[in-house]
């Protein structure tokens, strides 16, 4: 497309709406899926006595590491992306081609954002795809539901479990058309950027992968200092699971290796290997704040949009909250990013661009997740003594 041939550009313009249609299908699934997963996750966990004090120890560790990872990305990613040069003409063309950016919305103040986290009308928040208020309302609902007697609670939980299962089926249908949607988005982008798009996307992949790798290495320090685990033992225990995670891009596939490593190498207690590790694999995805921050900063650079400190801090908090509801599918967190991008003044189609080049970064994401699961298990096991 860099040749500027009119026929090729016309073909790209004709195919690109298919990418937008695919992106809209992704966004269609986000809100019902997130609500169903949050409600069933919180309400079901409340019924399990085995969670007890282990869960109370694990959850703060999850949140601290999630926030730390997002702040780490905020500090490191801009240093790398400052070296990414997007020609002004290319950025202008992209801005002109995106209707949402022709008249940028007036961004609310930090106080307004804090007030909006508790929605006066939750259904309005759902219609506006305001993810943070939706998560806050859903958490309140789920915690209140958990307080009801089992006879009243379980039918409601079963309904939301069914909704979640149905939406995952819809997600699989949408994923079946991912090659077509991704191709249409990439072709449309290439028609506007040409070689600049390829260079920029490669730069993004390298930046994200390096940030993920560095934070993964930092987790070794957490295991040694907080978990009081010798570095060699921790590295030997987590290495098999990391190999499975890197090759399969699946934290769930790495769970047996995680349990075996914790039992045989770390001599972790049965409650830790029997509950904390499966619990972590189910809900704890440390890559989400890093992936969202780097992805949003890259797209802001690509589209020529300025993101302020308040927007980025809000992004880290939203990523932390929503990470507990990311579906267990490849690039799952990026499927949930689309409506958040709109709130930042970026086009939702940007999520499709990130998904298109996520295969290599996703290997590092899964490796980070698995390492964090073992790290939290080590910290929780140490807190028992």
Q: From the CB of residue 75, how many other CB atoms can be counted at a distance below 10 Å?
A: 11
Residue 51: per-residue pLDDT: 47
Which residue, among 241, 285, 234, has the nearest Cα to 260 in the 3D structure?
241
Among 105-114, 252-261, 266-275, which is the least confidently predicted range?
105-114
Contact 335, 355 (CB under 8 A): yes
Regarding predicted confidence, which is higher, 185 or 133? 133
Q: Say what the pLDDT of residue 292 is.
A: 94
Q: Domain spans of the chain?
A: 6-383
- Does pLDDT of 323 surpass 70? yes
Q: Is the pLDDT of residue 100 over 50?
A: no
Do residues 339 and 129 make contact, with C-beta atoms less than 8 angstroms apart?
yes
Question: What value does the mean pLDDT of the chain take?
Answer: 77
End-to-end CA distance of the chain: 63
More confident of the two residues 52 and 164: 164
Task: Give the rounded percent of residues in the chain with a pLDDT score beyond 90.
Answer: 22
Q: What is the pLDDT of residue 3?
A: 47
Please count the CA atoms within 13 angstroms of the CA of 376 that sit on its side-chain side.
Answer: 30
For residues 19 and 182, the answer to whether their CB atoms sit within 8 Å is yes
pTM, full prediction:
0.68
Among candidate residues 33, 31, 28, 329, the one with its CA nearest the CA of residue 160:
33
- Full 3-state SS string of 264-309: HCCCCCHHHHHHHHHHHHHHCCCHHHHHHHHHHHHHHHHHCCCCCH
Structure tokens given for 349: 């189609």
Q: CB–CB of 305/332 below 8 Å?
A: no
Q: Running DSSP on this structure, what letter comes out for residue 326?
A: -
Give dist(CA 6, CA 384) in Å, integer. Answer: 68
The yes-or-no verdict on residue 287 having pLDDT over 60 is yes
pLDDT of residue 226: 92
**CA dist., res. 179 & res. 88, Å (int):** 30
What percent of the chain is predicted at pLDDT more than 70? 74
Residues contacting 156, CB < 8 A, separation 6+: 43, 145, 148
Q: Is the pLDDT of residue 33 over 90?
A: no
Neighbours of 235 (CB within 10 A): 16
Q: Could you tell me which residue, 318 or 19, shows the higher pLDDT?
A: 318
Q: Which fold has domain 6-383?
A: 1.10.3860
Q: What is the DSSP string of 200-256?
A: HHHHHHHHHHHHHHHHHHHHHHHHHHTS---HHHHHHHHHHHHHHHHHH--HHHHHH
Comparison of pLDDT for 88 and 286, the residue scoring more? 286
């Amino acid at each position: 497309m860099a040749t500027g041939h009119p026929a090729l550009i016309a073909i790209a313009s004709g195919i690109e709406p298919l990418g937008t249609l695919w992106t809209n299908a992704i966004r269609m699934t986000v809100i019902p899926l997130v609500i169903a997963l949050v409600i069933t996750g919180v309400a079901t966990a409340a019924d399990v006595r085995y969670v007890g004090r282990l869960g109370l120890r694990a959850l703060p560790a999850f949140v601290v590491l999630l926030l730390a990872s997002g702040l780490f990305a905020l500090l490191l990613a801009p240093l790398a992306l400052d070296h990414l040069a997007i020609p002004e003409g290319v950025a202008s063309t992209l801005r002109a081609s995106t209707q949402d950016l022709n008249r940028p919305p007036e961004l609310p103040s930090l106080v307004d954002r804090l007030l909006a986290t508790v929605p006066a009308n939750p259904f309005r928040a759902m219609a506006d795809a305001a993810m943070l208020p939706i998560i806050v309302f859903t958490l309140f609902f789920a915690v209140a539901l958990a307080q009801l007697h089992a006879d009243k609670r379980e039918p409601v939980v079963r309904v939301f479990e069914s909704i979640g299962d149905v939406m995952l089926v819809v997600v699989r249908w949408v994923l079946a058309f991912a090659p077509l949607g991704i191709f249409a988005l990439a072709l449309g982008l290439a028609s506007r950027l040409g070689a600049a798009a390829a260079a920029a996307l490669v730069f993004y992949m390298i930046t994200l992968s390096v940030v993920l790798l560095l934070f993964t290495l930092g987790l070794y320090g957490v295991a040694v200092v907080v978990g009081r685990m010798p570095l060699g033992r921790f590295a030997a225990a987590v290495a098999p699971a990391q190999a499975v995670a890197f090759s399969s891009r699946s934290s769930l596939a790495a769970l047996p290796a995680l349990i075996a490593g914790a039992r045989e190498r770390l001599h972790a207690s049965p409650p830790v290997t029997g509950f904390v590790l499966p619990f972590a694999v189910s809900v704890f995805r440390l890559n989400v704040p890093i992936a969202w921050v780097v992805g949003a900063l890259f797209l802001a650079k690509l589209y020529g949009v300025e993101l302020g400190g308040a927007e980025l801090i809000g992004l880290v908090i939203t990523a932390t909250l929503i990470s507990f509801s990311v579906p267990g599918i490849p690039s799952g967190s990026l499927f949930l990013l689309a409506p958040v991008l709109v709130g930042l003044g970026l086009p939702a189609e940007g999520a499709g661009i990130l998904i298109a080049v996520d295969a290599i970064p996703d290997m590092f994401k899964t490796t980070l997740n698995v390492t964090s699961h073992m790290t939290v298990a080590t910290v929780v096991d140490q807190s028992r003594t």
